[in-house]
Structure 1
Amino acid sequence: MTIDHTWWKEATIYQIWPASYKDSNGDGIGDIPGAISTLDYLKDLGIDIIWLSPMYKSPMEDMGYDISDYQDINPDFGTLQDMQDLIDGCHKRGMKIICDLVINHTSDQHAWFKESRSSLDNPKRDWYIWKKPRYDADGNRQPPNNWSSYFSGSAWTYDETTDEYYLRLFANGQPDLNWENEECRQAIYDSALKFWFERGVDGFRIDTAGLYSKDQSFADAPIVFKDQYYQPSSKLTHNGPRIHEFHKEMFKKVTSNYDVMTVGEVGRCTRDEALKYVSAARNEMNMIFLFDAIEVGCNPDDKFRYQGWKLTDFKDAIRNQSDFIKGTDAWSTVFIENHDQPRCVTRLGNAKKFHDKSGKLLATLQTTLTGTLFIYQGQEIGMTNLPRSWSIDEYKDINTINYYKAFKEKFGNDKDFEEKEAKLLDVINLMARDHARSPVQWSDAKYGGFSTVEPWMRVNDNYDKINVESQLNDPDSLLKFYQKVLKLRKEYKDLFIYGSFEILDYENEKVFTYVKELPDAKHPNAYVALNMSDDQVDFKPLIEGKFKLVACNADSDEFDEKVLTPWEARVYILE
Structure 2
Amino acid sequence: MKLNHFLFLCIGLIQFSSTTLTAQDNKTLLLKNVDTKWWKEAVVYQIYPRSFKDSDGDGVGDLKGIISKLDYIKSLGIDAVWLNPIYASPNDDNGYDVSDYRAIMKDFGTMEDFDLMLKEMHKRGIKLIMDLVVNHSSDEHEWFKQSRSSRDNKYRDYYHWWPAEKGKPPYRWSFFDVNSDAWKYDAQTNSYYLHYFSQKQPDLNWENPKVREDIYDMMRWWLDKGIDGFRMDAFQFASKDTTWPELPKGYEKNIIKYYGVGPHLHDYLQEMNKEVFSKYDIMTVAEGAGSSPQDAMLFVDPARKELNMAYHFESVDIGKHLSDFGLIKYKAIFSRYDKEFKDKGWLAIFLANHDQPRMVSKFGNDSPEFRTISSKMLSTFLMTMRGTPYYYYGDELGMDNIRFNNINDYHDLDTRNKYIALKNKGGDLEAFLEGEKQTARENGRTPFQWDAKKNAGFTTGTPWLKVNPNYTTVNADQQEKDPNSTLNYFRKLVQLRKKNPTLVYGKFELIDENNPAIFAYTRELNGEKLLIVLNFTSKNASVKTGINIKGAKVLMNNYTTPSKSKELRPYEAVIYQL
Using the alignment, how far apart are the partners of 1:64 and 1:550 within structure 2?
Answer: 42
The equivalent position to 1:122 in structure 2, one of 136, 140, 153, is 153
CA pair 51-235 structure 1, distance change in 2 beyond 3 A:
closer
Q: Which residue identity does 2:514 align to in structure 1?
A: E
> Are 1:185 and 2:212 matched, yes or no?
yes
Higher helix share: 2
- Given the two structures, how large is their TM-score scaled by the length of structure 1? 0.91
Identity %: 41
Specify which of 246, 251, 264 is matched with residue 242 of structure 1: 264
**Is 2:233 the counterpart of 1:207?**
yes
Give the corresponding residue for 2:566. Answer: 562
* Contact residue 221 and residue 233 of structure 1 kept, 8 A: no
With the length of structure 2 as denominator, give the TM-score of the two structures.
0.90
Per-residue CA deviation, residues 505-558 of structure 1 (Å, 9 max, x unaligned), is: 11111111111112x23xx211111111111234678323530001101131x6
Offset at 1:251?
0.8
In 2, Cα distance between equivalents of 1:134 and 1:224: 30
Matches within 5 A, 1:326-345: 326-327=342-343, 329-345=344-360
Give the equivalent residue in structure 1 for 2:409: 394
- Listed as ranges, the matches of 1:297-446 within 5 Å are 297=319, 308-327=324-343, 329-352=344-367, 353-387=369-403, 390-412=405-427, 417=428, 421-446=429-454
Give the whole-Å Cα distance in 1 for the aligned partners of 2:274 and 2:261.
Answer: 20
Of residues 522, 526, 530, the one that matches 1:515 is 522
SS of the residue corresponding to residue 435 of structure 1 reads helix
Q: Say whether residues 1:506 and 2:513 are aligned partners.
A: yes
Alignment of 1:553 onto 2:558: yes
User: Which consecutive aligned stretches of 4+ in structure 1 deviate over 6 angstroms post-superposition?
Assistant: 230-233
SS in 1 for 2:188: coil
User: Can you list the C-alpha shifts for 1:169-225, whole angstroms capped at 9, x where unaligned?
Assistant: 00010000001111111011112x011011111111111121111001113322328
Corresponding letter in the other structure for 1:172: Q
Partner of 1:138: none
CA distance in 2, matches of 1:457, 1:223: 38
After superposition, give the CA deviation of every residue in 1:386-419 in whole Å (9 maximum; x if it has no partner).
135x21221111011111111121134xxxx4xx
SS of equivalent residue, structure 2 residue 189: coil
Contact 1:296 1:313 in 2 (8 A): no
Matched, 1:485 2:493: yes
Q: Indicate if the aligned counterparts of 2:518 and 2:542 stay in contact, CA closer than 8 A.
A: no
CA distance in 1, matches of 2:466, 2:173: 31
Match 1:69 to one of 75, 97, 100: 100
Seen in structure 2, the aligned counterparts of structure 1 residues 341 and 2 have a Cα distance that, compared at 3 Å, is: same
Question: 1:13 pairs with 30, 41, 44, which one?
Answer: 44
1:277 matched to 2:289? The reply is no
Q: Residue 236 of structure 2 contacts residue 256 of structure 2 at CA under 8 Å; is this kept in 1? A: no
**Count of aligned positions:** 543
1:529 to 521, 527, 533: 533
Return closer, same or farther for 1:236/1:357 CA change in 2, 3 Å cut-off. closer
1:167 corresponding residue in structure 2: 194
Q: Is the 8 A contact 1:148 1:233 kept in 2?
A: no
8 Å Cα contact 1:540/1:562 also seen in 2? no
Question: Partner letter of residue 535 of structure 1?
Answer: K
Answer yes or no: is the 8 Å Cα contact 2:256–2:291 preserved in 1: no
Give the drift of 1:562: 1.7
CA RMSD of aligned residues (A): 2.0
Decide whether aligned partners of structure 1 residues 517 and 79 sit closer, same or farther in structure 2, where only a CA change above 3 A counts. Answer: same
Change (3 A) 1:551 1:235: closer
Q: 2:170 aligned to 118, 124, 145, which one? A: 145
Give the one of 246, 255, 258 matched to 2:280. 258
Assess, with a 3 A threshold, how the Cα gap between structure 1 residues 176 and 529 changes in structure 2: closer, same or farther. same
**C-alpha contact 2:239 2:262 (8 A) present in aligned 1:** yes
SS for the counterpart of 1:537 is: coil
| Cα offsets for 1:323-380 (capped at 9, x unmatched) | 34113x2111111111111111011101113000000000111100111111111111
* Deviation of 1:39 (Å): 1.1
Question: Amino acid of the residue matched to residue 440 of structure 1?
Answer: F
Following the alignment from structure 2 to structure 1, what is the Cα–Cα distance between the partners of residues 539 and 185? 56
The residue type equivalent to 2:261 in the other structure is N
Whether the 8 Å contact between 2:515 and 2:543 is mirrored in structure 1 is no
1:438 Cα shift?
A: 0.9
1:424-467 Cα distance to aligned partner (Å, 9 max, x none): 22321111111111111111111111101111111111111111
| Change beyond 3 A, Cα 1:60–1:232 | farther
What's the secondary structure of 2:402's corresponding residue? coil
